[in-house]
Structure 1
Amino acid sequence: MTNRHKVLNEWRFKACDESEWNEARVPGTVHSDLLRTGVISDPFYGTNEHELQWIDKKDWEYQTSFTLTEEWKRCRHIELVFDGLDTYADIYVNGRHVLPTDNMFRAWSLEIGEFVLPGENTLRVRFRSPIAEDLPKLDKLGYPLPATNDQSELGGLGDRKVSIFARKAPYHYGWDWGPRFVTSGIWREVRLNGWSGPRLTDLFIRQDKVSPEEAKLTAVVEIESDAAWRGTLEVAADGQTWTQEVALTPGRQTLELAAELAEPKLWWCRGLGEPYRYEFTASLREGGETVSSRRVTTGLRDIRLVRRRDDAGISFLFELNGVPVFIKGANHIPNDSFSPEVTAERYRHEIASAAESNMNMLRVWGGGIYEEDVFYELCDEYGLLVWQDFMFACSMYPGDDAFLNSVAAEAEYNVKRLRNHPCIALWCGNNEIDSAWAHFDENGGWGWKKDYTTEQRTKIWADYEAIFHRILPEAVERWGGGIAYWPSSPLRELTGDEHQHATKVTGEGDVHYWGVWHAVEPFSNYNERVGRFMSEYGFQSFPELSSVLKYATEDQLELESEVMLAHQKNGRGNQLIKGYMDHYLPRPRDFKAFLYMSQVLQADAIQIAIEAHRRNKPYCMGTLYWQMNDCWPVASWASMDYYGRWKALQYVVRRSFSEVMLSIDGGVEGREAGEGKGVGPDTNTAADAGKGVVTVHLVSDRREPLHARLRLELFDFGGRSLGERTHEVALPADAAEVVYTAPAGELLNGHDPRGVVLLATVEQEAAGERVVLASRHHYFASFRDIELPEASVTVEEVRGSGGSAFTLSTDALARQVWLHAEEEGFFSDNFFDLIPGRPVTVEFRRRGGLGSEAFVSGSPGALSVSSMRDYTVQ
């Protein structure tokens, strides 16, 4: 038995119509290689994106050589494996064409023993232009297919959208937060495998029944053998071993071996327990020797999507190990336009940031990529569930046999690749296509259907159903190990009539609510538009100044400058931010102040949404805002910018997703003018402030009842206490309730609503000390109407902290205090309100670099502090 392994990572590349070769990096993309060799400038800087659209019109080739030594001669098989080729490629070994490829989302392998020689061999990969490859398909089809986010005009194609024909990352063709870089390249590892005899090619630990008492498992082992073979299959984990005698025949075969673990340690998502993982090893043994082995790490859990009819409709909730989980998280997009550039450290930074923000789920959105293994390994490690889309989004797709067969192979590959990860909670067919097309509602959807004849509509919908109602669910059913499949997000229920499409908020299915933002509805509508599971909603902001200056110069810092518009992919995004800001916040002093204020505005919006969703559990059992991250530096819906810098929203999310949360509404009558007609001019006056009823909500995700004291204290902006009241509260386990109500006038007790702030805290006594479980500031007037005082915020280093902890205090109310660090990292709190006499202590944690720790306590370096008054016209 012989096994050899060789990674091929020394490559060179060139355009096919040129003769000069340059060094390449594999895994990589042609854009990244052109940048490294100095052929192009930074694609993300200024308007460079517009000048680089020629790259996708060319064919490119990569070449390497490899030497086969005498040891390789003893291998009866030599296999060439590509874990990822983007996208249309022809493979040549020693000048012979051995394989064509046409799908970015799967691995490709073939036997090359007959094509190689002892000594040096050459391998060439020729990439055909995805544009040139797919334009003829559009012509052949005879009519265009909808592809809303395909920026074909920027790519010089006019309205000829070809993204739907390629099994390639949709966002490469542009999106309303991302640039158009239609890449080519060897984007995942390339290797040679030499082998003889039997070998294990896959190990899946199928979890047939998992409970705290026992785990009944089946090791599903895939084996390839080049001859008949007899021996022992052995599976080991946690000090136990299970064996069976096996007789293999030549070829591929699948064996199953039952295994049981008594009282297993279960895998739990963040907030519910430890994400414990077991290591399983499968081995083929003969005469006491191991012939071949394979190892996987997995967690034991029972995860279900529970859709149960109730008085309000049909539930949409995840149940982990029998426990209903309120989902708190975000939508994830690729971390880079050139995904091979994302390092393991960048992945860890994102996942750890999600965990630090009290999330328990990320949704891998369907317009990007099936993520790298390290992404899912980190989600396993940190206890983050994953809602996994298949890679289809906001488009209709062709249904010819070649395309459908490619989709089927892609689905099998990725479901099998990811099925051992305990984080996988759901497979979803696509993003927004069911509701966009709205086949059963003539007047519903995004208006796509009107452009097609009845015959064309019938064909397009039949192709849709072939993919999302047949091929993908069959793949999940066959290889997914019991994970649920959801055809499209959003969707009400697969009914085959007009009740299927989630074109409005109803009592079933999941919801993408974009009334705030796209429809210019007021923030207060977040309180009204609450569904059973809120899988998308969002609001934009700009990155901070240091990030903006990575792609723009000082003289380009204007809202409508060419560069700012190039880094705003939502057509009217900048004006929407400005319009909402004019309605809700004081006027910023200049564009630099506008950057800061846009983050405050975004945070305010999403805080309202998250709190509304959490207050409505168990009717609503999940909230995933759009979006966690960016693929380039841009104004977008992200809570963390391209460089990993936390925006104000990330800090608000951290507070709003805490285990115990306070939420207060009411008493701000002048805040939501124009409801139902968008956020037009505010017709109310400051005299309307401080009216109505103030309602205090308490939300707890704890698995045991909560007994605490609610303290409400009113302060003027100078820090003088104007009154205090306390109230004992009792909350059942895992519950949300109103714990206090009072007329705003009663709480104000005659004080000017524009000059006071209410501080609410939920406290417990522990070891004789007061422990604050949650706190919240509440104002009785619109932030636009409040005149903020000049505030001097002081920062004092905490003695003994090694320069990592600081206490902040102020001489007057300071709103949205922003600590900005020279070093990369995050503070334990930021963008918070500071009341005189109520100091706040924060700790800084630096990015951990190349180590296993994502964040480590340390000095922030040069530290600056500011607040809203510093950025606004008074």
Structure 2
Amino acid sequence: MTRQTLHDGWVLRAVPGPQVPPEIADQAVPATVPGCVHTDLLAAGLIPDPYLDDNENRLGWIGRTDWVYETTFAWQPGDDDRVDLVCAGLDTVATVILNGADIGRTENQHRGYRFAVGSLLRPGDNTLAVRFDSPYRYAEAHRERLGDRPNAYPEPFNFIRKTACNFGWDWGPTVVTAGVWQEIGLHAWSTARLASVRPLVTVADGTGRVELHVEVERVTDAPLTVHATVAGAAVEVTVPAGERTAVASLTVADPELWWPVGYGAQPLHDLAVTLRTGDGRALDGWSRRIGFRSVRLDTTPDAHGTPFVLHVNDVPVFVKGVNWIPDDAFPNRVTRQRLAERFAQALGANVNLLRIWGGGRYESDDFYQLADERGLLVQQDFLFACAAYPEEEPFRTEVEAEAREQVSRLASHPSLVLWTGNNENIWGWHDWDWQEPLAGRTWGRGYYLELLPAIVAELDPTRPYWPGSPWSGSEEIHPNDPAHGTMHIWDVWNTDDYTKYREYLPRFVAEFGYQAPPAYATLRRALSDEPLAHDSPGMAHHQKAIDGDRKLQRGLDAHLPAPADFDDWHYLTQLNQARAIQLGVEHFRAHRPVCAGTIVWQLNDCWPVTSWAAVDGDGRRKPLWYALRRAYADRLLTVQPRDGGLAVVAVNETGSAWQAPATVTRLTLAGEPRAKTSVDLDVPAYSSVVLALPAELARPDDARRELLVAEAGDSAERALWFFAEDREIDWPAAELDASVEPAGDGQRVRVTARTVLRDLTLYPDRLDPAAQVDQALVTLLPGESATFTVHADAPLDPVALTRRPVLRCVNDITGGTA
């Protein structure tokens, strides 16, 4: 058995058409495989970077063009029975041509293909070509044939099995790609090969079990054996002559359990499978690292409705999640190192679950391996989002094929804990005026409630399946009912103030978010606007949300002082995003266990854009990231309105009791105490306690000049409560003392407050695009100090580090800074 990758020597050509620019029409462009047309044209200097300014608008012709990739490779025949061309991923509508002969056609980016090519190969040089038809032409033809279906965007992404957000989204560019986007090569083999290996791992009563489902492809009918080992256990089973499947079981007594981050370790075990002939000759092998753990959903009705509680190893896990979109519109740029950086950012924000959203892709092996190693739980949507999808052919067959392939591919990963049928499509059918235009036509229900659950039940019954996000658990209940199953909250961003989060008592919030622009250095790299303004041309183009700027302004008007310039606007909109999500997360966590999880929209971006992300398209952390780190801390202290007054809620997501002295003090902005209470916190593991505050603390003498400060222990984050909005508070002009000193490979900026300083934040990327800071959104009372540690490629100007616009707080807008 031999494998020969075919990743070298490729060139790319546009098929002539009136839309193709003349400078590209006759070009043979060097092509990278795996890769795509956009990145090849960009590398050749033939197109501008679609991520900069409004260049995206000038590149729409790429998705309406047919493209041909071609390479020549050397091959020498051996004594193998079969030679296959294996295409792990073609994007999307492709005809594969070997030495002038068509060998196959593909219509699905989300599955792999294998073609027998032994009869077409010749000794010496061979020519392989892949012609990609325009995704638009294919999708629009099926739309015309089947009738249009409702869609959140004026693009035909629901009529092609391709990454939906390639066609643009309210956070993403329209860059409709084509190309050999995953590995491609020759596979020569004899007698038989492993076509699929699907380990179903369970744990019960202290015993780990691996039920190994093996499928072989064979060219002879001779008996075969499958040998498997894991964690000291071994088994061998026979595949009888002519048979193509076998099931082998391995048991491991008292295995070390795999846990989500924060609940225990992540031990992984090598599972090795070998296919042999009857006389013991090795034919093929397969290996993965698996983890022993159980997972289930508790949806047993209770007094509050229908819960949605994820249990791992029979321990309920409060989900502290973030939604994940493709980290780049061009997947060949998302390396393992880049994923590792994003995972580190997620873990740094105390996240324990990533939901892979249904308008993107089934993520890479690297993604799942990193999740396994680091204890990040993964919820994987099947790829349907924000549209009605046809169930007619060829789509039903393609959906079934991709689902079977992906469920089998991902079965070995302990991090994967939930399959979800779609994003918002069942909700859309109910609430987005779909039913009249559909006029009885298919829209995807058969996928979400019949086909996909049947495939998961057949191929991987070890994991739960949930028909949609959101979904209430029953067609008899509205899919976005807060009391049942999962819900999405989008009225806050679209129409209401973020304090409305407190009006919801959901069982599980799978999406909610609030926008802000990316980091200043990201904007300056991506935009040439002079001057930069919230509505300058580049900023406007990189704001994809409907009425996005108006919604940002509505949020500012409700809470914060009016910005005087772009620097103020940038700081305040980022601050408002952070506050909105922190308020929502703390409210939902304060209602555990009725609420069993939150998944914030969203962790990451795929390009430089104003969006809901905590980490922007250049990988920089926005203030929201720091707010998430605080709101998702294992031990959370928060002040919440309860029963007409105020309460302190202590939430403990650790396995040991949280015992600490706590104080709550009502103070003036000048730091003068007005009332105080003390209590000894005793919060059991994985629970919360609510402490109602007496009236003398909950009712200020002067709402515009007072606040509450709650503190527990020596190291816990303090919780603050202001009795008025910032725009109404009598902030003093910000006065502070600041010093800068070297600190290893960075600098320490120490700030001492002479007045209250509200949400003090340092923006070192304004001085060096590579600079990072360890904390943000720090509120200091008079006399208090904070130290910010800055890391940069070279020492930064100490004066600039301690002045506007690098060092900001709310009250430098209302009264200046001294």
Question: Within 5 A, what are the aligned runs for 1:707-856?
Answer: 707-719=659-671, 724-743=676-695, 748=700, 750=701, 752-763=702-713, 771-786=714-729, 787-797=731-741, 801=744, 803=746, 807-821=750-764, 822=768, 824=770, 826-843=772-789
2:497 and 2:769 map into 1 onto residues whose CA distance is 37
Q: 1:448 maps to which residue?
A: 434
RMSD: 2.4
> Is the counterpart of residue 594 in structure 1 residue 595 in structure 2?
no
Is this contact kept in 2: 1:804–1:859, CA < 8 A?
Answer: no
Matches within 5 A, 1:97-176: 97-141=102-146, 143-150=147-154, 152=155, 162-176=156-170
Q: Distance in 2 between matches of 1:860 and 1:628?
A: 30
- Give 1:265 shift: 0.8
Q: Please tell me whether residue 699 in structure 1 is matched to residue 691 in structure 2.
A: no
Q: Distance in 2 between matches of 1:231 and 1:370?
A: 33
In structure 2, give the amino acid aligned to 1:472.
L
Which residue of 2 is the match for residue 209 of structure 1?
203
SS at match of 2:274: strand
CA–CA separation in structure 1 for the residues paired with 2:555 and 2:100: 61
1:36 aligns with 2:43: yes
- TM score, norm. by length of structure 2: 0.93
Alignment match of 2:383 (pick from 366, 371, 391): 391
**Structure 2 SS opposite 1:395:** coil
Partner Cα separation in structure 2 for residue 535 and residue 542 of structure 1: 23
What corresponds to 1:610 in structure 2?
A: 585
**For 2:337, which of 335, 341, 345 is the aligned residue?**
345
Q: Give the residue type in structure 2 aligned to 1:62.
A: Y
Q: Which amino acid aligns with 1:81?
A: V
3-state DSSP class of the match of 2:371?
helix
- The yes-or-no answer on 1:294 pairing with 2:301 is no
AA at the equivalent of 1:594: W
Match of 1:511 in 2: 487
Q: SS of 1:517's equivalent?
A: helix
Residues 814 and 22 of structure 1, relative CA distance in 2, 3 Å threshold: same
Partner of 1:279: 270
What amino acid maps onto 1:460 in structure 2?
A: T
**d(CA) in 2 for partners of 1:757, 1:829:** 22
Structure 2 Cα separation of the partners of residues 812 and 783 of structure 1: 15
Q: Partner amino acid for 2:52?
A: Y
| Cα pair 2:237 2:248 within 8 Å, conserved | no
Q: Does 1:653 align with 2:628?
A: yes
Q: Does the CA-based 8 Å contact 2:84-2:114 persist in structure 1?
A: yes
| 2:68 matches 1:53 | no
Aligned-pair CA distance for 1:86: 0.8
Structure 1 position 557, deviation (Å)? 1.8
In the TM superposition, residue 57 of structure 1 has moved relative to its aligned partner by: 1.3
Residue 621 of structure 1: aligned partner: 596
Alpha-carbon distance between aligned partners in 2 of 1:88 and 1:460, rounded to the nearest angstrom:
23
Name the counterpart of 2:22.
none
Q: Is 1:76 paired with 2:109?
A: no
> Does 2:526 match 1:555?
no
How far apart are the structure 2 equivalents of 1:231 and 1:523? 63
Give 1:107-506 correspondences, 5 Å limit: 107-141=112-146, 143-150=147-154, 152=155, 162-211=156-205, 213-230=206-223, 232-238=225-231, 240-249=232-241, 253-285=244-276, 290-438=282-430, 445-452=431-438, 456-457=439-440, 459-461=441-443, 464-495=444-475, 497=476, 499=477, 501-503=478-480, 505-506=481-482
Moved more, 708-717 or 402-411: 708-717
The residue type equivalent to 1:431 in the other structure is N
Q: CA deviation at 1:368?
A: 0.9
Q: Counterparts of 1:310 and 1:247 in 2: how far apart (Å)?
A: 48
Instruction: Measure how far apart 1:828 and its partner are.
Output: 3.8
**Counterpart residue type for residue 208 of structure 2:** A
Tell me, in whole angstroms, the C-alpha distance in 2 between the residues paired with 1:302 and 1:231. 32
Q: Deviations over 1:467-519 (max 9, x none)?
A: 22222111111112421111111111233x4x2x324x43211111112111x
Q: 1:788 to 1:474 in 2, by over 3 A?
A: farther
CA distance in 2, matches of 1:372, 1:567: 27
Partner of 1:767: none
Distance apart, 1:744 and its partner CA: 5.3
Q: CA 1:563–1:737 in 2, change beyond 3 Å: closer, same or farther? A: same
1:23 corresponds to which residue?
A: 30
Deviations 1:556-594 (A, max 9, x none): 522223322211111201011012101100111211221
Change (3 A) 1:744 1:430: farther
Residue 35 of structure 1 aligns to a residue whose secondary structure is: helix
Deviations 1:284-343 (A, max 9, x none): 356676443211111111011110111111111100000011100111111112222212
Return the letter of the residue paired with 1:22: V
Q: Take 1:825 and 1:796, find their aligned partners in 2: how far apart are those partners?
A: 15
Give the whole-Å Cα distance in 1 for the aligned partners of 2:632 and 2:551.
27
Letter of the 2:678 partner, please give it. Answer: T
SS in 2 for 1:273: coil
Q: State the Cα distance separating 1:258 from its structure 2 match.
A: 1.4
Q: 1:283 to 1:808 in 2, by over 3 A?
A: farther
Structure 2 counterpart of 1:758, one-letter code: L
Whole-Å separation in 2 of the counterparts to 1:860 and 1:311: 59
* Corresponding residue for residue 677 of structure 1: none
Question: Which whole-Å deviations, capped at 9, do the CAs of 1:437-495 have from their partners, x for residues lacking one?
Answer: 12xxxxxx11122334xxx32x325xx23222222111111112421111111111233
CA distance in 1, matches of 2:795, 2:314: 43
| Matched residue type, 2:778 | F
The answer on whether the counterparts of 2:759 and 2:810 sit within 8 Å (CA) in structure 1 is no
In the aligned structure 2, how far is the partner of 1:808 from the partner of 1:379? 38
Matched residues in 1 for 2:199 and 2:167: separation?
A: 37
In structure 2, relative to structure 1, the CA distance for the partners of 1:649 and 1:757 (3 Å cut) is same
Which TM-score applies when normalising by structure 1?
Answer: 0.87
